[in-house]
């Protein structure tokens, strides 16, 4: 559904994205991770044909992202990172206009989404709170039953309840065979929804892997309480915080066997594994 090959897009200040290559298969949900300024939104603008890449190839659903942008928009649902609606309209008027703009008379899914996100259509768009504007943008992105959804920070401004509802919606769309590409800072929603993760740093993709592989590479943390605490530093594994519950010891997957044999020589009072979440894995990669 998405094919990017050696794509470079730079701005006059020399920032941008450089030599990006990745694919998103039909029916796949892909998370795009990176801090502000890393190139996530620039990538999305190139995918949608808003900006032409300096070099490389960007293909969406078999079409050139820039030259065939108007055709691509017929199969894409888009949620921008910075939302701006037409002024002077009620929510109902804006939705009606959007349906007509898309030459669509199918409002059944729109009505379901409005009910799902508990959004009142009678108010003026300009009076909506940030969270309500985000919900409206989600309704607009999903209501056309698009084959491909491109979402830039989709849960920005939503409360925890609505974030959970968004995750449930993505999982439903995934079951229906939709392809979803989304950037996010919220690792919880990436862990729960995505098949694959792309991590971008300073305009370059530094890691691409499916979520299972990425999590298998995690650094495990063991909390150990022992009567021979002073001997832990001689085992050769990095130590973390010390508390009344014990000392944190960090071990990579291929070191587990040797680690367990090493601590078997100590008098252990308690032993507990603390699993890393995706955020900790991401931060470790970014430090490297």
Please give the domain boundaries of the chain with CATH numbers for all domains: 2-210 (3.40.50.300), 217-287 (3.30.70)
Predicted local confidence at residue 274, as pLDDT:
73
Report the predicted TM-score, pTM, of the whole model to 2 decimal places. 0.80
**Of 283, 224, 284, the residue nearest 259 (C-alpha):** 224
Q: What is the mean pLDDT of residues 272-280?
A: 71
CA–CA separation, 2 and 6 (whole Å): 13
- Residue 225, pLDDT above cutoff 80: yes
> Tens digit of pLDDT for each residue in 127-170?
999 999 999 999 999 998 899 999 999 998 899 999 999 999 99
Give the pLDDT band of residue 236 (cuts 50, 70, 90).
confident
Predicted local confidence at residue 22, as pLDDT:
97
Lowest mean pLDDT among 31-45, 139-153, 206-220: 206-220
**Of 229, 184, 187, 227, the residue nearest 211 (C-alpha):** 187
Tokens 């470790």 belong to 284
Tokens 């898309």 belong to 102
> Tens digit of pLDDT for each residue in 159-184?
999 999 999 999 999 999 999 999 98
Q: What is the mean pLDDT of residues 30-51?
A: 93
The string of DSSP codes covering 29-56 is: EEEEE--TTSSHHHHHHHHTTSS--SEE
Give the pLDDT band of residue 288 (cuts 50, 70, 90).
low
Distances (CA, A) of 241 to 106, 137, 171, 224, 238: 57, 43, 37, 11, 10
- Residue 11, pLDDT above cutoff 90: yes
Predicted local confidence at residue 287, as pLDDT:
67
> Tens digit of pLDDT for each residue in 97-132?
998 888 777 789 999 999 999 999 988 999 999 999
Higher pLDDT, 176 or 230: 176
- Residue 212, pLDDT above cutoff 80: no
Mean pLDDT of all residues belonging to the chain: 89
Is 77:150 a contact under the CB 8 Å cutoff? yes
Helix or strand holding residue 59 (H, E)? strand 55-60
Predicted local confidence at residue 25, as pLDDT:
96
């Amino acid at each position: 559904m998405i094919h990017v090959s050696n794509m470079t897009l730079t701005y006059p200040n020399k920032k941008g994205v450089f030599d990006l290559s990745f694919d998103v298969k039909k029916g796949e949900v892909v998370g795009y991770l990176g801090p502000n300024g890393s190139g996530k939104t620039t990538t999305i603008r190139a995918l949608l044909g808003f900006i032409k890449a300096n070099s490389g190839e960007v293909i969406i659903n078999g079409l050139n992202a820039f030259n065939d942008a108007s055709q691509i928009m017929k199969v894409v649902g888009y949620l921008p990172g910075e939302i701006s609606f037409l002024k002077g309209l009620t929510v109902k008027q804006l939705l009606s206009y959007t349906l007509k703009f898309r030459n669509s008379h199918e409002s059944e899914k729109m009505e379901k989404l409005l009910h799902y996100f508990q959004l009142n259509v009678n108010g003026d768009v300009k009076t909506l709170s940030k969270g309500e504007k985000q919900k409206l943008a989600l309704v607009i992105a999903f209501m056309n039953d698009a084959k491909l959804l491109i979402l830039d920070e989709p849960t920005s401004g939503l409360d925890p309840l609505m974030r959970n509802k968004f995750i449930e919606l993505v999982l439903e769309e995934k079951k229906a065979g939709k392809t979803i590409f989304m950037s996010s800072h919220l690792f919880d929603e990436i862990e729960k929804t995505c098949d694959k993760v792309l991590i971008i740093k300073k305009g370059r993709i530094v890691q691409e892997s499916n979520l299972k592989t990425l999590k298998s590479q995690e650094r495990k943390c063991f909390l150990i309480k022992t009567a021979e605490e002073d001997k832990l530093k001689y085992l050769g594994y990095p130590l973390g915080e010390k508390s009344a519950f014990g000392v944190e010891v960090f071990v990579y997957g291929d070191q587990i066997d040797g680690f367990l044999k090493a601590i078997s020589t100590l008098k252990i009072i308690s032993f507990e594994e603390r699993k890393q979440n995706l955020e900790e894995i991401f931060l470790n990669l970014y430090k490297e």
